[in-house]
């Protein structure tokens, strides 16, 4: 146990017993405990394997390369359609965690094997994502905007595409595009 991570388990109110049980299980798999992104992260030879995090409705183990796990029990969850690599195991009780402990450990050991083998998740390229029509019109009509957008990192490009695509109404998508054009022209991401 890493003392720098202890605060995370002490501050938890709703899921304290559950995440303490998950911590015990993960550490029993001989991973190193670190603090990353404000959460307990468990690594194998400096590679992230799994993370413990809490939400209002559940606590979870997040497998960084979960998309590569076999998941014979069909219990891994893809958080959203845009999450390509990570997968979660979600829990709402200590009893549930205890009943799944052997399966959880088998998933962790498989995740370590995937890391040892050097396997990587094949990620979609930014150009494979559908650009919302409202943004595409702006790109087509403004060469400076098009150049600035192409100069952004692929991650920033995807973030804008996802952000612009979320609203159901065209009017709202247009408003988002208009709002963020200055940031794109300044070479910044939507949350910078």
Q: Over the chain, what is the mean pLDDT?
A: 93
Residue 51 pLDDT > 80, yes or no?
yes
Which residues of the chain does CATH 3.90.1150.200 include? Answer: 3-116
Q: What class does CATH assign to 3-116?
A: alpha beta
pLDDT at 129: 83
Q: Provide, rounded to the nearest whole percent, the portion of the chain with pLDDT above 90.
A: 80
pLDDT at 81: 78
Q: With CA atoms as reference, report the closest residue to 62 among 100, 88, 35.
A: 88
At residue 96, the 3 state secondary structure works out as helix
pTM, two decimals, is 0.75
Residue 12 pLDDT > 80, yes or no?
no
> Tens digit of pLDDT for each residue in 160-184?
998 998 899 999 999 999 999 999 9
> Tens digit of pLDDT for each residue in 89-98?
999 999 999 9
Q: With CA atoms as reference, report the closest residue to 49 among 18, 76, 20, 26.
A: 26
């Amino acid at each position: 146990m890493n003392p720098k991570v202890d605060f995370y388990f002490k501050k938890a109110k709703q899921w304290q017993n559950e995440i303490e049980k998950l911590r015990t299980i993960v550490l029993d798999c001989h991973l190193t405990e670190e603090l990353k992104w404000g959460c307990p992260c468990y690594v194998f030879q400096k590679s992230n394997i799994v993370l413990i995090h809490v939400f209002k409705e559940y606590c979870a183990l997040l497998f960084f390369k979960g998309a590569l796990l076999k998941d014979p029990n069909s219990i891994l969850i893809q958080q959203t359609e845009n999450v390509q690599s990570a997968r979660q195991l979600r829990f709402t009780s200590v009893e549930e965690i205890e009943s799944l402990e052997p399966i959880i450990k088998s998933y962790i050991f498989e995740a370590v094997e995937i890391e040892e083998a050097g396997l990587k998740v094949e990620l979609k390229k930014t150009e494979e994502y559908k650009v919302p029509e409202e943004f595409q019109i702006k790109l087509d009509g403004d060469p400076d905007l098009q150049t600035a957008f192409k100069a952004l990192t692929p991650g920033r490009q995807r973030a804008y595409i996802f952000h612009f695509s979320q609203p159901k109404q065209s009017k709202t998508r247009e408003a988002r595009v208009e709002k963020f054009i200055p940031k794109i022209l300044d070479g910044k991401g939507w949350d910078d």
